[in-house]
Amino acid sequence: MSSAQTAMNTLAAQWYNAVLSGCKLSPDEFQLMQGAMPIGATTENLWNVFDSVPPLTATTFYNPAQVSSFSQNYAGVISAVIAQGTLQFQRDMGDYYAQWNNYKKTISPLPADNLAWSKAFSSWANANLPQSQVTTSITDFNTMLQDPIAVAANQLLNVQFAPATMHPGDYAYTTTIEQLQLALNNARPATVQLNSSTQSSDVSHTWAQSEASGIFDIFGLGGDSSYDELTTKVTTAGVNIQAKFAKLVTLPAGPLKQPSDDNLLSQFVPWFNSAALGEAHAKQDNTVWKAGDAITWESTFGPGGNLQRFAAAMVIVDGISLTMTSKAGLSTQDQASFKAAAAGGVFPFFEAEASGGWSHDVSFDDQGSVTVTSSCPAGNPQVLGVLVSPIADLF
């Protein structure tokens, strides 16, 4: 690992601890998002963050291309588990079970709720089953419909085949951009101060209990060996940061599991069933999990599983002013390089000049000490981090 990378890892961990203190956040749940993450103007941007399964690290860089999707992982689980009522239904149906499944694929539009499904099966059973099997099979079918896993599977089908007005294929969460704006109207201010000479870089006390990794150098552009040299000079000399947030708010949300009265959320089909996920988590054997399926209890909830945790809330700041200083003693040539690089963004938000309202001012004193003043005006909320909860909190 290069000296610049080592320095940035240390600085990232120090910034994490400074944010905990200044923003009064808990190390038991906070994960810092490195770099600038503007919310933008759409609810979809909020949902994209909530749908990202947090990696096991105190700090992370949000890369949509590498995100593990909560909704897709959940849908995979529901496809890999067995509704317990299905077993009795299948036994009592015998050879007619396959016939019903084949017929079910031809139903269009799909029944909208359990009552409609019950009517569809009753009609089919009366027309196709021996009279001696009709009553038992209808009873089994109605019992199966109440099984959490069967309910969850039908919910996911309803999302996929929803009418255009109900946003088919979209997995909604229980908050909106309008709710964020209301929360920001009542948000509190916060100040974060970091002195790298005294601030602890120990993050073993956090929920992740793992080393914080830093973005490669102190500039947003990166990728140039000269930036590594400047990063080493600046961090070795010591860094002081004072960040002021005019507004800081914690915005909770979860996967949509029931119809909502919200103007926007009422247009989306509920898709999440906590009882079904809890049933899948409770048993590891093949009485619940399908034998031979690629998706298993271990790949889902085990030590390397893709559904060990979820983002229960976002920590959002707005109206940012930030001053970073270092007594690096930069030469005239280094000063020119630093100023040019700083236009592309500097630690800890890394946002380029004029992007999303950001501005940067760089000045040097006679000894070559550097001061960077950055600001992003109110009305451009940024994701500071998320609050991480264990998956069992959703059961």
Band of the pLDDT at 249, cuts 50, 70, 90?
very high
Asked if pLDDT for residue 276 goes beyond 80, the answer is yes
CA of residue 11 relative to chain centroid, distance: 24
Phi, psi of 289 (to 5 degrees): -90, 135
Asked if pLDDT for residue 199 goes beyond 90, the answer is yes
Band of the pLDDT at 336, cuts 50, 70, 90?
very high
pLDDT in tens, 53-82: 999 999 998 888 888 999 999 999 999 999
Alpha-carbon gap, residue 344 to 358, rounded angstroms: 10
Band of the pLDDT at 294, cuts 50, 70, 90?
very high
First to last CA, the chain: 41
Note the pLDDT of residue 14: 96
Q: What share of the chain is helix, strand, coil (3-state, %, to 5)?
A: 40, 20, 40
Cα 378 to Cα 103, 181, 337: the distances in Å are 57, 12, 30
The residue ranges of every structural domain in the chain are 3-23+178-248+317-394, 71-172+254-311
Note the pLDDT of residue 337: 92
Which residues, in sequence order, are bridge partners of residue 376?
A: 320
- Average pLDDT in the chain: 93
Task: List, in order, residues 6 or more apart from 387 with CB less than 8 Å away.
Answer: 25, 29, 30, 31, 250, 252, 311, 312, 313, 314, 315
Average pLDDT for 377-384: 96
Which residues, in sequence order, are bridge partners of residue 311?
A: 388
Which residues, in sequence order, are bridge partners of residue 382?
A: 38, 317
Band of the pLDDT at 221, cuts 50, 70, 90?
low
Band of the pLDDT at 222, cuts 50, 70, 90?
low
Q: 222 or 125: whose pLDDT is higher?
A: 125
Band of the pLDDT at 142, cuts 50, 70, 90?
very high
Note the pLDDT of residue 154: 86
Give the residue from 394, 111, 380 showing the smallest Cα distance to 257: 394
Q: 6 or 21: whose pLDDT is higher?
A: 21
pLDDT in tens, 86-122: 888 999 999 999 999 999 989 988 887 889 999 999 9
Give the residue from 312, 323, 311, 316 showing the smallest Cα distance to 380: 316
Q: 214 or 42: whose pLDDT is higher?
A: 42
60 contacts 32 by C-beta, under 8 angstroms: yes
Note the pLDDT of residue 210: 80
Which residues, in sequence order, are bridge partners of residue 46?
A: none
Note the pLDDT of residue 364: 97
Note the pLDDT of residue 224: 63
CB atoms within 10 A of CB 55: 16
Q: pTM for this one?
A: 0.90
Sequential DSSP letters for 178-201: HHHHHHHHTPEEEEEEEETTTS--
Note the pLDDT of residue 111: 86
Amino acid (one-letter) located at 177:
I
pLDDT in tens, 152-181: 998 999 899 899 999 999 999 999 999 999
Cα 92 to Cα 99, 131, 136, 172, 346: the distances in Å are 13, 13, 7, 37, 67
Q: What percent of the chain has pLDDT over 90?
A: 79
With residue 384 as reference, give the H or E element that holds it.
strand 382-390
